[in-house]
Structure 1
Amino acid sequence: MKVYKTEEIRNIALIGNAGSGKTTLAEAMLFEGGVISRRGEVTAKNTVSDYTQIEQDYGNSVFSTLLYTEYNGKKINILDTPGMDDLCGSVVQALSVTALSLITINASNGVEAGTEAAGRQAEHADTPLVFVFNQLDHDNSNFDSTLDQCKAAFGNKVTVVQYPVDAGTSFSSIIDVLKMKMYKYPKDGGQPEILDIPASEKDKADELHNELVEMAAENEEALMELYFDKGTLSEDEMRKGIKLGMLERSIFPVFCTCAKQNKGVGRLMEFITNISPAPSEKKMTEIVAGKQVKMDASDLPSIFVFKTAVEPHVGEITFFKVMSGTVKEGLDLVNSKSGNKERLSQVFVSAGKNREKVEQLVAGDLGCTVKLKDTKYNQTLSPKEAAIKFKEITFPASRHTVAVKAKNDSDDEKVGEILSKIKYEDPTYVIEYSKELKQLLVHGQGEYHLNILKWYFDTIYKIDVDYLAPKIPYRETITKFAQADYRHKKQSGGSGQFGEVHLIIEPYTPGSEPKKMFKFGDKEQKLSVRAVEEHELPWGGKLIFCNCIVGGSIDARFLPAILKGIMEKMNEGPLTGSYARDIRVYVYDGKMHPVDSNEISFKLAGRNAFSMAFKNAGAKILEPIYDLEVWTPSDRMGDVMSDLQGRRAMIMGMGSEKGLEKISAKVPLKEMNKYTTSLSSITGGRGVFKMKFDDYEKVPADVQDELLKAYEAEQEEE
């Protein structure tokens, strides 16, 4: 294979709704470029992309697939991405290493939820866009309606470069208003005739051509002057203006295809090679450590690993972008994270599962290698003296959580090992063992995302697992003061155990000072606070421990043991076993025995006295409250609001943002289980949300009663 220079490379991502034809378009592009000799079909499970077992079982893309094709003396690297929003991690990966996104749209369905989601990801990545109206041969395809929907969703930046003459089952002709020619395709696709625009279409084509000229001219002062002087621009001048506009995201060109019949694909590829940006024309990924380099083949070699995959009979495959210099077989580089040396024993270009060995890859190119020791996604390899580290890809926050439990306890360890492997292939899985909840939690993007994980357990690893609702990390506290004393006494032959502790507890609020007197009925208890210890709790809140012992009733050496006993009960609250917080404890009296008193005696006495006082101090369960922001289409606003009110949400505000209605609310975490699924159902997949922890608040009385009963039942079962 020819070694392509940086300026001869084009890196593109195919993004868009599931079913819009991304994989079919990729297949046509590889066929048009001569990389494959026949086009496969998704339904026949023989496409170059979507070659893994899970993709063939599911019938759609699950991972991004690196492909390449050659056209017009250029190399086009293609990342075919999944269309389900639950699999957005692969889209984020692809956008991080490409300079252009093609959003495919099924012209029968128009703008769908996945179209909008893809647009948001491209905007976040600041990536130029081209809209590809695909499947124009369908009965219900409607170019004008799809264009109107596109402009409503993405603004007037959406600019027609092509439109179909005869969309529908007889689709064969496309008017190109950049070249001002008509492309007429044979019935079964292939090479078109390039004809003059017929008289019946001339006025429409002229109008759209003039709009395109104006859009192109607006991107450079020199072009604008030429336009004013001549009243038009040449094709080359238009190309320059369109390219500048694409880089500034002020022009989103529209192209027409029927990828399944290979109609319009060659012209789209011609546009990509002529106008879309080379890798060096997009802003360089930020270098966060080490030597500064340029995307130039003559600079020091460095690569950024954007994806790790595992294939049967091959093992781990590492996909990378050459960020600078030239990468050759046998090159030794150093991992910026581990400091370990890695040798690129082989360098490949990738067309799905077919990989071709190459001599070298230059700055801007995408490739892969195998048998690296410990380099994973988001890591940089560079010469030791450069010590370069590129900014890591930031993946979307999790939106859905389940607890995973093996049906057979003996498989628990295997489950953990499997999850550790899978998270490297899909970094949007976040694995966490919660010591507090005693559950193995998997955080993902939605139910579909987690069902894919289940497929691996069922099909590949043959391990039965259950998905359980995650427990809620409640907290316990008190609302009033209470007193208790407890004597621990144990005698069993020789020296025994003896310790007695008298204490008072009260709610702690930041900034409050210890009290010097408490009144219980008609009895007053005066305190002399001798020392105060403030303990920040790992789970939030504080424990304030006040030493009020006078007269030596308890020796100072036993106070740490009393504190330890209290802290043990703070770790496992008396109500539901949840962490306790925000309590001030006054230890003011007690008794010792000259022989039998020891640390364990006072630890147990302190623990039990605290537990008794806690239950009499207006004990309350606190629940985590989250700040929630929801974006929804306006016609679903009422349904979304009703659903939130059913989840005990407190609406804090409403507004509009980017064509969607925005709702701000505070909502208990307990009520948000499977919210991703519910919101998708209510809004037809168009609603999005994000959550952030805010604070803990007391649960309503009925919810507390329910939790106490559930905890009692659980304790009885154990």
Structure 2
Amino acid sequence: MANFDIKHIKNVVLVGHTGSGKTTLVESMLFEAGLINRRGTILDKNTVSDYTEIEHEKGKTFFSKLVNTKWKGYKINLLDTPGYDDFAGEIIGAMRVADCGLMLLNSAMGVEVGTDIIWDYTNDYKLPMLLAVNHLDNEKSDYDRTVNEAKAHFGNNVVVVQYPMNQGEKFDAIVDVLNMVLYKYPQDGGKPEKLPIPDSEKEKANQLHQELIETIAGNDETLMERYFEKGELDEDEMKLGLHHSLIKHEIFPIFCVSAKKNMGSGRIMGFIDNVCPSAYEMPKQKTVDGKKITCDENESTSIFVYKTLSEPHVGDLSFFKVLSGKIKVGDELTNENTDQIERINQLYEVEGSKRTPVQELVAGDIGATLKLKNTHTNNTLHEKGKHIEIVPIQFPNPTLTIAVEGTKKGEEEKLSMALHQLVEEDPTIKVEVSPKLKQTLLHCHGELHLAIIKWKLENAYKLSVDFKTPKIPYRETIRKSADTVYRHKKQSGGNGQFAEVSMKIEPWYEGIEEPTGYNIRGKEEHDLPWGGKLVYYNCVVGGAIDTRFHPSIMKGIMEKMHEGPLTGSYVRDVRVIVYDGKMHTVDSNDLSFKLAGMMAFKENFHNADPQLLEPFYYVEIHAPEEVTGSIMSTIQSHRAVVEGMDAEGQFSIIKAQIPYAEMHEFSNDLRSLTQGRARFNMKFDHYEAVPFDLQRTLISEFSNQEELV
């Protein structure tokens, strides 16, 4: 097998809205390179990159795939990605290790929802980007509209390198205004003839050629000077200018392709080889401590794991990019994140489901290895004695939460292990076991993401599961003070139980003054694990309650704070003052004072204007301007408090606080309202009082459940 040095390796991620033709284009590229003898199709379920059972079943890409090929002395690592924002983690992970992106646009549909969303990610990484207008053989193809929309959405540095002739069902020719030639394709696609541009197209081609030159020169002072001197740039100068501008994320050239008919794919591959940057030419990777890693095969070895895949009978497959140096079979590397030594027993080049063993991979290359015991996605491995940790991938926060439970008894551990493995493969999934809610909560990125998770649990792990609406983690507190004397007395032969506690409770808030009128003998402050605080004062004088019983009183209070009096929710932000009481020399004990403390707290709580609190989330919604009004109306029906609105290009950003109780259906409502053209992120912000009518309903429901128990 040929070895490739750092200058002859290109890493390209294919992105675009679902249905834009990424997987089909990968097939054409592999066919052009001679890696496969026959192009597969999604319909026939035999493409190289879509090889999983669920992708065959649904006819869609759900996971990023690595496919390497060889082309005219270069190795090109292609990263095929999903087109749904539900799988943003797969898209972002692939982008993180790519050195160039190829965005496919559907010429029959123009710039679609997923295109806008994915473009934001490319801007985050400042990734060099090519655009390719696909489906030019479609009867509804409209190349000019698609280009105009691309310029409107992505800026005027979108520049035409190619345009089609005879677009539609008779599409067979592409005019290339970079090298000023016509590519004429056979009816079934493949290798084109290179012909002079027809006279009927010369004026248009010359105009676009001039626009291309001016755009390139406008982004490079040296080329601008040459352009002023000569009045033009030759092809090599144009390629050099495009190369530098791509690295700086300043120019986005547009190509033409019919992936289905294999027209235009070879030209794109040639441009990738000749013009697109390699890893060593890109800005240096940064470490968490601000240092930079030089992508050089002569440097010390470091790799970054961007994806983990678990396969039956094989184990965990770790996909990585070599950041520096060379990685060889037999190397022992230190995982900077876990401080564990990992031995590299196998190395693979990857072609979809096919893995070819190799002995080494050099800086800039992407490959895979098996059975790293203590290594996960986002981990950096390096030579012993070094300290290198690459800045990790920032995955988006989940937008949908569901409760999951097995339907068969005895499979709890099996379900737990399956969920753990899903999180290992997909870091955008979060699993939370909530003792308070008595639910296992699964956080993900939308209904489609959830559907794939359910499919995996049922088909890959052979589990029967139910998804249920999650309970709301309410909190309870008080709004005024209350005072009571509670006596616990029980006599049933022999030693009895006796304890009397005089207790006052008050709302606690930051900066509250110390209580007055009491002789404070002891103070305890407890930051509660669920948020808020409990402050306990021992103000008992004269030995009315022995000091040794105060921990028991505290224990009783804390137990009731775990199971609040209103709805059984956690209690927070309360100040307790125990100022008097009584005890019996024989019948008083720890249990008696624990029960007295618990019941005194409960009685006081009901008399202290109790308040139920609900979690509010800060939500940012990114949506096209034309649907902003409809979104504003919708979120207000979800009890949202709108904080403001900003503009960002073609999008509006709506900022709001929304109760968590309203978020379960929010994702579906937003997608339905905007036909999937909006996206949002959310994070917990604060707790706020539940409206009176809702509080009354929730308390009543809890009381009825208690009576049934």
Which TM bucket (shorter chain)? over 0.9
Shift of 1:488: 1.4
SS at match of 2:4: coil
Equivalent position SS for 1:451: helix
What's the counterpart of residue 222 of structure 1? 222
Equivalent pair of 1:290/1:388 in contact (CA under 8 Å): no
Partner of 1:581: 572
CA distance in 2 between counterparts of 1:190 and 1:666 reads 55
370 and 716 in structure 1: CA distance in 2 versus 1, 3 angstrom threshold: same
Deviation at 1:624, TM superposition (A): 1.0
Larger mean Cα displacement after TM superposition, 172-181 or 675-684? 675-684
CA displacement at 1:685 relative to structure 2:
0.9
Correspondence for 2:701: 710
Residue of structure 2 aligned with 1:691, choices 675, 682, 696? 682
**How far did 1:598 drift?**
1.6
Task: Give the AA of the match of 1:637.
Answer: T
Superposed displacement of residue 404, structure 1: 0.5
8 Å CA contact retained: 1:218, 1:241: no
The residue number in structure 2 matching 1:394 is: 394
**Residues 314 and 143 (structure 1 numbering): CA distance in 2 closer, same or farther, change over 3 Å?**
same
| Alpha-carbon distance in 2 for matches of 1:216, 1:646 | 50
- State the one-letter code of the partner of 2:320: F
Q: Deviations over 1:264-314 (max 9, x none)?
A: 000011111011001111123223379975211122222221111122343
Give 1:6 shift.
Answer: 0.5
Deviation at 1:566, TM superposition (A): 1.1
Residue matched to 1:112: 112
Letter in 1 for 2:58: Y
Residue 604 of structure 2 is aligned with which of 591, 607, 613?
613
Q: What is the aligned partner in structure 2 of residue 672 from structure 1?
A: 663
Equivalent position of 1:490 in the other structure: 490
CA contact (8 A) 2:175 2:197 kept: yes
Who is 1:602 aligned against?
593
**Quick one: structure 1 residues 602 and 444, their matched pair in 2 at CA, closer, same or farther if it must change by over 3 Å?**
same
Give, in angstroms, the shift of residue 447 of structure 1: 1.1
Higher mean alpha-carbon deviation, 685-694 vs 496-505, is at 685-694
Aligned match for 1:701, one of 682, 692, 696: 692
Cα deviations across residues 472-530 of structure 1 (Å, max 9, x unaligned)?
111101112212221112233332221100111122222222443xxxxxxxxx64444
Which amino acid letter does the alignment assign opposite residue 282 of structure 1? Answer: M
Contact 2:397 2:682 survives alignment (8 Å) = no
Report the secondary structure of 1:702's partner residue: helix
In 2, the alpha carbon distance for the partners of 1:692 and 1:165 equals 49
| Distance in 2 between residues matched to 1:82 and 1:511, nearest whole Å | 51
Question: What are the Cα deviations for residues 412-450 of structure 1, in whole angstroms up to 9, with x where unaligned?
Answer: 221111011111111111111112222111111111101
Q: Deviations over 1:112-170 (max 9, x none)?
A: 11111111111112211111110100010100111111111111121111111111001
Residue 162 of structure 2: aligned partner: 162
Q: SS in structure 1 opposite 2:364?
A: coil
**How far did 1:374 drift?**
2.9
The residue that corresponds to 1:347 in the other structure is 347
Deviation for aligned residue 1:648: 0.9
SS at match of 1:389: coil
Distance, in Å, in 2 between the alignment partners of 1:49 and 1:715 is 55
TM, length-normalised to structure 1: 0.96
2:181 and 2:142 map into 1 onto residues whose CA distance is 22
Instruction: State the one-letter code of the partner of 2:392.
Output: E
Question: What is the Cα deviation at residue 545 of structure 1?
Answer: 1.6
SS at match of 1:38: coil
Tell me the amino acid that sits aligned with residue 556 of structure 1: T
CA distance in 2, matches of 1:393, 1:652: 29
Q: 1:698 to 1:290 in 2, by over 3 A?
A: closer
| Range 540-549 or range 588-597, more displaced | 540-549
CA contact (8 A) 1:11 1:97 kept: yes
Contact 2:437–2:471 at 8 Å: present in 1 too?
yes
Matched residue, 1:20: 20
Q: Is the 8 A contact 1:291 1:386 kept in 2?
A: no
> Which position in structure 2 is the counterpart of 1:64?
64
Tell me the amino acid that sits aligned with residue 167 of structure 2. A
Percent of aligned positions that are identical: 49
Task: Report the equivalent of 1:520.
Answer: none
* Alignment-mate amino acid for residue 549 of structure 2: F
Shift of 1:51: 0.3
TM-score (ref. length: structure 2): 0.97
Equivalent positions of 1:440-459 (< 5 A) are 440-459=440-459
Equivalences for 1:222-621 in 2 at 5 Å? 222-288=222-288, 293-516=293-516, 527-621=518-612
CA contact 2:483–2:604 (8 Å) conserved in 1: yes
Letter in 2 for 1:574: P
CA contact (8 A) 1:290 1:386 kept: no
Unpaired stretches in structure 2, ≥5 consecutive residues: none
Distance change (3 Å), C-alpha of 1:413 and 1:290: same
CA distance in 2, matches of 1:50, 1:710: 49
Any unmatched runs of 5+ in structure 1?
517-525
Measured on the aligned residues, the alpha-carbon RMSD in Å equals: 1.6
Aligned partner of residue 410 in structure 1, secondary structure? coil
Counterpart in 2 of 1:122? 122
Which residue identity is paired with 1:221?
E
User: How far apart in 1 are the matches of 2:370 and 2:290?
Assistant: 26
2:210 counterpart of 1:210? yes
Name the CA distance, whole Å, in 2 between partners of 1:282 and 1:71.
21
The equivalent of 1:649 in structure 2 is: 640
| Residue 521 of structure 1: aligned partner | none
2:82 and 2:461 map into 1 onto residues whose CA distance is: 24
Aligned length: 709
Q: 1:46 to 1:603 in 2, by over 3 A?
A: same
Letter paired with 2:49 = S
Q: What secondary structure, in the 3-state scheme, does the structure 2 residue paired with 1:148 have? A: helix
Secondary structure, counterpart of 1:653 in structure 2: strand
Residue 586 of structure 1 and its aligned partner are, at CA, apart by 1.6
Deviations 1:11-61 (A, max 9, x none): 000011111100000111111111111100011000001101111112111
Moved more, 577-586 or 632-641: 632-641
Q: CA deviation at 1:387?
A: 3.9
Q: Which amino acid aligns with 1:442?
A: L
Asked if 2 retains the 8 angstrom alpha-carbon contact of 1:536 and 1:543, the reply is yes
SS of residue paired to 2:260: helix
**Which residue of structure 2 aligns with residue 80 of structure 1?**
80
> The residue matched to 1:37 in structure 2 has which SS?
coil
Q: Deviations over 1:147-202 (max 9, x none)?
A: 11111111112111111111100101111110111111111101111111111111
CA distance in 2, matches of 1:49, 1:306: 18
Higher mean C-alpha deviation, range 530-539 or range 683-692 = 530-539
Which of 617, 621, 636 lines up with 2:627 in the alignment? 636
- 1:362 & 1:537 partners in 2: Cα distance? 51
Which sits farther off after the overlay, 17-26 or 377-386? 377-386
Is the contact between residue 28 and residue 39 of structure 1 (CA under 8 Å) also seen in structure 2?
Answer: yes
Cα displacement (A) at 1:79? 0.5
Q: Kindly provide the CA deviation profile for residues 316-361 of structure 1, in whole angstroms up to 9, marking residues without a partner as x.
A: 2221111111222222222223333322222221110112222321
Q: Which amino acid aligns with 2:324?
A: S
Alignment partners' CA distance in 2, 1:511 and 1:269: 66
- Per mean C-alpha deviation after superposition, the further-off stretch among 11-20 and 662-671 is 662-671
Aligned-residue offset at 1:533: 2.8
Partners of 1:292 and 1:181 lie apart in 2 by: 42
CA contact (8 A) 2:286 2:293 kept: no
Indicate how the Cα distance of structure 1 residues 312 and 112 shifts in structure 2: closer, same or farther if over 3 A, else same.
same
Distance 2:586 2:270 in 1: 94
- Comparing 63-72 with 542-551, greater Cα deviation is found at 542-551
**Following TM superposition, by how much is the alpha carbon of 1:717 offset from its aligned partner in structure 2, in angstroms?**
4.1
Matched, 1:179 2:170: no
Amino acid at match of 1:182: L
Aligned AA (1:558): F
